[in-house]
Structure 1
């Protein structure tokens, strides 16, 4: 009787102890292996597929990032623009030709025509129409010797101021040898003293045309064919 009671008392206690032993909490994989109760977890096919896709996405992103980092920016070729030629400005000196266009009747007939003489003629003819003024040598008014000195002064050639003194310089030439640019002298005061001068602009056979400042008409063109100048012609001198 006593033994039955003791067994009845001990059995519940033994079961309780066994239950407590089996119900202890396992906190690590190592502890579970030690107690012999570890089981490898089973992963479902869906979870494995999701993990695989996630791994591939990360791999693609890493590759793309690496490509971006290794991309080398190529230098852009800049087209060179050819420099435009700079136009040079040529300034003519004070002695440059004043009249650029020759009159039709002042073109050199042959190699004997002096280029300087032609330019002096062009400048002398620019005074045509200027009124006569005794002692004057500008476009406001000029006498015969004033017109000649004004032309020669343009080319820095100095001549005596009076026609009589001019006749004493240069080289005297025969009438048949007179050329363009020569100075032609007259005496128009009824005496044998030279008192008038002009510049030859053209020679046509025995006719000589010249530009001069006339007492009554100012600067004009006249000819030795005119009786007055044919009668009073004295000589011609070459200054160039």
Structure 2
């Protein structure tokens, strides 16, 4: 049975009206000005400087075994993790665990923000970690949480205690460090 002409016309008219109404969904949104540009990531050098500036501001914080905050106090690994985590660098664990994160670097090539590790005896397990503040003219300034003095700055080469125990350094900041060893 053939469709009646008025039914066809009604169908086409309803289809046309529904298509017209649906066009509102395809109109571009009103221009609300320029879209915000994404924040540019800081250069590695400026990131390193920001990290050590922040660490330096924590001088004088008290020591507390297992501590991870300025309010409660820091132990050495808690201090290092706190500072780096503030800048989105995901490191964690005790000092001996941190020794395997990032990329191993030569002691004479450390830069601000790199980590130094210490052992009490040859072949012994890492017992301490510090953050490099600077490495200029053969003098490596480091900041760390010590059990007797809290968060302090020392110059590695001027401390017979720390200089005799330093064993390795790790870079956890540069891009090559992220590719060298997956960070947690």
TM-score, length basis structure 1: 0.51
- Structure 2 partner of 1:202: 134
Change over 3 Å in CA distance of 1:218–1:189 after alignment to 2: farther
* Structure 1 SS opposite 2:112: coil
- Structure 2 partner of 1:174: 106
- Structure 2 partner of 1:185: 117
- The question of 1:153 aligning with 2:85 is answered yes
Shift of 1:208: 0.8
1:224 to 156, 165, 184: 156
Shift of 1:190: 7.9
| CA deviation vs aligned residue, 1:4-26 (integer Å, no higher than 9, x gap) | xxxxxxxxxxxxxxxxxxxxxxx
1:200–1:210 contact (8 Å) kept in structure 2? yes
* Structure 2 SS opposite 1:195: strand
Distance in 1 separating the partners of 2:142 and 2:120: 16
Distance in 2 separating the partners of 1:158 and 1:189: 29
Structure label with greater radius of gyration:
1
1:137 to 53, 64, 68: 68
- Structure 1 partner of 2:36: none
Structure 2, unpaired ranges of 5+: 1-38, 174-184
- Structure 2 partner of 1:238: 171
Distance in 2 separating the partners of 1:124 and 1:173: 21
- Structure 2 partner of 1:103: none
CA RMSD of aligned residues (A): 2.3
Distance in 2 separating the partners of 1:151 and 1:180: 13
Shift of 1:179: 1.2
Flag the structure with higher strand content: 2
Distance in 1 separating the partners of 2:61 and 2:120: 21
Shift of 1:188: 3.5
1:189–1:195 contact (8 Å) kept in structure 2? no
Distance in 2 separating the partners of 1:221 and 1:157: 22
Distance in 2 separating the partners of 1:200 and 1:121: 8
